[in-house]
Amino acid sequence: MRIVILDGYTENPGDLSWELIEKFGDLTVYDRTPYEDDEIIRRIGDAEIVFTNKCPISARTIDACPNLKYISVLATGYNIVDVAHAAEKGIPVSNIPTYGTAAVGQFAIALLLELCHHVAHHSEAVHQGRWESNPDWCFWDYPLIELDGKTIGIIGFGKIGQTTGRIAKAMGMRVLATGSRETDSGRAIAEYVDLDTLLRESDVIALHCPLFPSTKGIINKDTIAKMKDGVFIINNSRGPLVVEQDLADALNSGKVAAAGLDVVSTEPIKGDNPLLKAKNCLITPHISWAPKEARERIMQISAKNLESFFAGAPVNVVNGL
């Protein structure tokens, strides 16, 4: 059985092993593959199994690789695969649904705390000698914000949203949530409200919802207008949840006081992205998911997905097969 990994480097830049996958067949690992159908088709070739992280697998690619029997996404999001066409061809597509819950929730709070305290900036200022030469015993360049007693609104309250909510609640924040369904575990953390109420009452808005047609652009000029003046926005879910020009305009006007983003609409980010020049906009390069512990879980769950496929009962299938 021939197995191809199209873009393995971000999952395993050298600190993990592919041995859990290798035991299932003849494995070829490409660190990176250009996002071009012809090259993707060439690299898959006659392989029966393909793993991808962000490398797209289109209907054309699926049609051109007739031996393909199983597609596994080394991530939770699977919009890079034409899952409907794969289903028509009888090819199950699996993803990794829960590997990064703790890491992503932790990172959302890290973004928020950095916006509140500007830790990196003030450390750099000290190393530049500014504290040594300061006439007072302390200084700060930005307003420092205490979160206790403030309200965080979380859009999307599944496992990751609830993880962020638990941490925020432990810091004394009131937690509001909106999501596709209410759960007992969610009610223990947050008050479920409609979207307009969440937008109106939140001091901080965090995005943890999937990217669907109904959520694309959920942060836009109209929803921003419903928010408090000086709101913070955190997004380490999916870039296209935000209309970036609208957010940039709101940051530059002060309507949104600050944003902490780990994702943008096109990745890697393009030089003309308006958020790069927006005021008070912290951007990190899509690394919420990337602690070694989380990547080890990706490897382990991917191997279990593959084992289940070989057993004739594939799991974590996202295209109904």
Of 43, 118, 122, 238, the catalytic one is: 238
Of 118, 122, 208, 286, the catalytic one is: 286
Helix (H) or strand (E) holding 169: helix 159-170
Instruction: Output phi, psi for 242, to 5 deg.
Output: -115, 135
Measured on CA atoms in the order 258, 264, 269, 272, is the torsion positive or negative? negative
Residue appearing with tokens 């009610």: 187
Per the annotation, the verdict on 286 as an active-site residue is: yes
Q: C-alpha 153: how far from its chain's center?
A: 18
CB-neighbour burial class of residue 106 (10 A; exposed 0-12, middle 13-18, buried 19+): middle
Are β-strands 191-192 and 93-94 bridged in parallel, bridged antiparallel, or unpaired? Answer: unpaired
List of residues 6+ apart from 303 with CB closer than 8 A: 20, 21, 24
Residue appearing with tokens 């943008």: 264
Q: C-alpha 162: how far from its chain's center?
A: 15
Q: Give catalytic residue positions.
A: 238, 267, 286
